[in-house]
A and B are shown apart, each in its own frame.
Chain A
Amino acid sequence: MPTVRLRDASEYPEPIQKLFEAAKAWFKYDFAEPPAMSRVMAWDPELGAFHGRAMKRAMTPGEWTRAEKEMVAAVVSGVNACAY
């Protein structure tokens, strides 16, 4: 169980809700509620903006495909024993 109360999407200001919509497009998935990580990063929009852009830049296809990068992300998460 999370150690903080995760805010519902409706509790965030309008600009952040637009970012949540962008997340749906990024993941190509219609979330009923934005993922917990998206809502956590939106808690500090300034940090979230930097971090989110860095993540998007890292995950955008380049020399590696998005799928290849997702697998890198998966092994890093596995090695860090992170179930999320």
Chain B
Amino acid sequence: MADDAPWYEAALLVGVTNALNVVADSPLESLEPARPSAEAEAVFAEIRAFYDRADVPTAFRRVAGDPGYLADLWGATRRVFADARLTRRHKEALAFAVSVTTRSSFGTALHLGEMRRLGVGERGVMEVLGVTQMFSSYTKIADTLQLEPDMGDIAAVDHSPAPGGAPPARPTHSPAARSPEAP
């Protein structure tokens, strides 16, 4: 995980997970079409296949009144949860951690179910829950005392390119060679 690509994947996953959760956890049942259109049903079929389940998760049913929007939302969701540099299994664990942290009952149940379906055992679930809980503690302690970051030097700078991007220009001289006035 030394280069940036996994972190881009993780950040995009966090965003999409939260987007699904906020709609699914809101009182929006009345928006779900009683009879989804044929276009919406086609997307629903893809969703059922992706999750290998008979029903369609709430977050997608809520937006099915606009099949075009549903299709794009689903496309984004499928993209961020698909195996890439991060595995789908790990992505479900990240989404579970995000959902627990944001108190999303929809997301917590969905991603807990997905982790188990993808082979994560009870020990693995507890490990993710433990990390989530411990860092929910550390973050609040740090915020309460307004601690300033002091561990950034642990991670070495890596110049690997992000997906689809050109490699960043490497510095041609060391910081020590800069003039004393340089910021």
Residues on A lying within 8 angstroms of B by beta carbon are 1-4, 27, 29, 35-37, 40-41, 51, 54-55, 57-59, 62-64, 67-80, 82-84
Contacts and interface: CB of A to CB of B under 8 A. Distances in A.
A3 B130 contact: no
Interface in B26-48: none
A76 to B, nearest CB: 4
A3 B148 CA distance: 11
A75 B6 CA distance: 12
Nearest to B138: A37
A72 B11 CA distance: 11
B127 interface: yes
A63 B148 contact: no
B176 interface: no
Given A35-B151, A75-B13, 6 more contacts: A37-B141, A62-B124, A64-B124, A69-B128, A75-B97, A77-B138
Contacts of A59: 131, 134
Interface residues of B, number: 46
A78 B10 CA distance: 11
A58 B127 contact: yes
A84 B131 contact: no
A50 B98 CA distance: 25
B150 A35 contact: yes
B142 A63 contact: no
B80 interface: no
Contacts of A36: 142, 147-148, 150
A68 B150 contact: no
Given A69-B127, A82-B139, A40 B14 contact: no
A68 B93 CA distance: 9
Nearest to A82: B139
Given A3-B145, A3-B146, A75-B94, A80 B139 contact: yes
Contacts of B138: 37, 55, 77, 82, 84
Given A40-B145, A63-B120, A64-B127, A72 B136 contact: no
Contacts of B142: 36-37, 82, 84
Contacts of B11: 78
Contacts of A41: 141
A27 B61 CA distance: 45
B14 A71 contact: no
A80 B131 CA distance: 14
